[in-house]
């Protein structure tokens, strides 16, 4: 059986081959999650399995993310896809404006996403621009909660951030995925050093 981290990378590699004209897949379930500060966000669940991936997505790639999440769910993984934005729970006459989630809210989502069975695992996943927010949210969660054997690792695909700022020292495996034909590859060595 292919280990989860390799399966995730393999599917991400072929994800770029998916025809962008395909309609977005629908989630098996969508729930609204209340957050502190009168905010709320949604989590879209794909599949049901003992290994869960909490995927922080953004509006620009949501359709492609839904398609890829559905493919991952077919490989015995449970995907919880959530946007990096939340809306106010207050009822107003006009539509609520989405705001970027702060690290404390991301930490709340991580806590809410831990599987109910102690033996089941959770991976945190972020792509591109979301890498910084995901890293900060996970660091905040560890400061508040400490360690958990359920948290299996952080997966970052094409992370876009500068390593000039001190990166938090996470006490869990970090899997980085970056193709060789990108200008970001030159920064990868300094990124790995900053995360060690």
Name which residue leads in pLDDT, 2 or 88: 88
Q: How many residues does the chain have?
A: 196
pLDDT of residue 38: 82
Question: What pLDDT digit, counting tens, does each position of 67-101 carry?
Answer: 999 999 999 999 999 988 766 665 454 455 567 88
The sign one gets for the Cα dihedral 28, 64, 131, 103 is: negative
pLDDT-derived band at 112 (thresholds 50, 70, 90) equals: very high
DSSP-assigned letter for residue 76: T
Burial string for 80-105 (b: 16+ CB within 10 Å, else e) reads: bbbbbbbbeeeeeeeeeeeeebbbeb
pLDDT surpasses 60 at 13: no
Percentage of residues in the chain having pLDDT higher than 70: 67
Question: What pLDDT digit, counting tens, does each position of 120-131 carry?
Answer: 999 999 887 788
Average pLDDT over residues 180-189: 65
Domains of the chain, by residue range, sit at: 4-57+98-195
Q: Is 137 helix (H, G, I), strand (E, B) or coil?
A: helix
Residue-averaged pLDDT of the chain:
78
The sign one gets for the Cα dihedral 20, 23, 25, 31 is: positive
pTM equals 0.79
């Amino acid at each position: 059986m292919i280990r989860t981290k390799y399966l995730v990378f393999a599917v991400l590699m072929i994800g770029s081959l998916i025809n962008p004209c395909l309609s977005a897949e629908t989630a098996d379930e969508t729930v609204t999650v209340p957050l502190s500060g009168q905010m709320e966000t949604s989590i879209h669940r794909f599949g049901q399995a003992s290994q869960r991936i909490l995927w922080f997505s953004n509006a620009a790639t949501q359709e492609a993310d839904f398609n890829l999440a559905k493919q991952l769910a077919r490989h015995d993984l449970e995907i919880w896809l959530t946007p990096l934005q939340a809306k106010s729970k207050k009822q107003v006459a006009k539509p609520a404006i989405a705001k970027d989630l702060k690290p404390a809210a991301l930490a709340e989502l991580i806590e809410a996403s831990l599987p109910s069975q102690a033996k089941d695992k959770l991976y945190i996943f972020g792509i591109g621009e979301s890498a910084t927010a995901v890293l900060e949210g996970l660091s905040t969660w560890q400061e508040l909660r400490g360690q958990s054997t359920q948290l299996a690792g952080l997966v970052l695909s094409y992370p876009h951030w500068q390593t000039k700022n001190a990166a938090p020292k996470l006490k869990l495996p970090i899997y980085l995925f970056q193709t060789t034909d990108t200008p970001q590859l030159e920064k990868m060595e300094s990124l790995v050093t900053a995360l060690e």
